[in-house]
Amino acid sequence: MKYPFLVILFLSSLFVQAQFVLEKQEIKDSIYTIPMITVSYAYQWTGSDMASRFGANSNVGGSFAVKTKTNWYYGFKGNFIFGGKVKETDLLADLQTSDGTLIDNEGKLVDVYLGERGSSFFLIGGRLINKFTPNKNSGILLYSGFGMLQHKISIKYQGSIPSLTDEYKKGYDRFSVGYAANGFVGYLFLSKNRLLNFFGGFDYTIGWTKNWRKYNYDTQQLDEGNHTNVLYGVRVGWIIRLNKRQQQDFYFN
């Protein structure tokens, strides 16, 4: 019984050594070009001119990006912006009753809800800096991008209000569109087992927009100026890798 035990012990040690060699080789050499799809969420605060109109909001985004063998990172991303904090509360004051409601075409009182809706799209490019991990496909991610930003005040109610049809809403919703720049700094992790892939960090957007409606019904004034819009917050996301699983060859000496 002693010799079979020694044989098993010897084979077990070879197996453990082979695993160690394979793991070491994979950590050292496993740097790939990896296409990926991401889904993410960000909680954002507003700044500059945008802070006088909206409070904090939520941002749901998605992207397609590629990390190259040399750890360059490029792609495009899109985001949907939504929030319930509108600071211009007197927007519909000329249509409302003293208690803040509106009257529909049947003479009934109707509550009106104001919110924020918007979107943004960017072409992005940057670099992955391999730090704080032996995995060559993970590290500090930095990128910037250029694209467009749009937003408006969402006006919701139930019923029919003749003075606030879809066409009349355009005189109150401040629908604004313009070009924008985006930046991100955070950490990206791509696991070797392909199951745990995520990123997180600080996301910043600055945009320069104009009101496409031109004329505001509530102020009875033209709105033709440029507006600076700032959004910043923390973004976290999940990554779906699209690269094929890599094969590893190893040998016993």
Over residues 6-47, the pLDDT tens digits come to 444 444 454 334 334 434 444 444 788 999 999 999 999 999
Q: Is the pLDDT of residue 251 over 50?
A: no
Confidence at residue 204, expressed as pLDDT on a 0 to 100 scale = 98
Confidence at residue 90, expressed as pLDDT on a 0 to 100 scale = 87
Domain-wise residue ranges, the chain? 1-30, 31-241
pLDDT tens string 37-74: 999 999 999 999 999 999 999 999 999 999 999 999 99
State residue 68 phi and psi, 5-degree precision.
Answer: -85, 175
Range scoring the smallest mean pLDDT among 108-112, 117-121, 170-174: 108-112
Q: Left, alpha or beta for 70 (phi > 0: left; psi -120 to 50: alpha)?
A: alpha
| Burial state string for 18-32 with b = 16 or more CB within 10 A and e = fewer than 16 | eeeeeeeebeeeebe
Average pLDDT taken over every residue of the chain: 85
**pTM for this entry:** 0.81
Confidence at residue 246, expressed as pLDDT on a 0 to 100 scale = 55
Confidence at residue 109, expressed as pLDDT on a 0 to 100 scale = 86
How far apart are the C-alpha atoms of 128 and 65, rounded to whole Å?
12
Query: Quick check: 158 and 86 in contact, CB under 8 A?
Result: no
Q: Higher confidence at residue 251 or residue 108?
A: 108
Looking at the domain covering 31-241, what would its CATH class be?
A: mainly beta
| Burial state string for 58-78 with b = 16 or more CB within 10 A and e = fewer than 16 | ebebebebebeeebebebebe
Q: Is the pLDDT of residue 119 over 80?
A: yes
Q: Is the pLDDT of residue 202 over 70?
A: yes
Q: In which band, very low, low, confident or very high, does the pLDDT at 94 lie, cut at 50, 70 and 90?
A: confident
Identity of the amino acid at 81: I
Q: Report H helices in the chain.
A: 2-29, 166-169
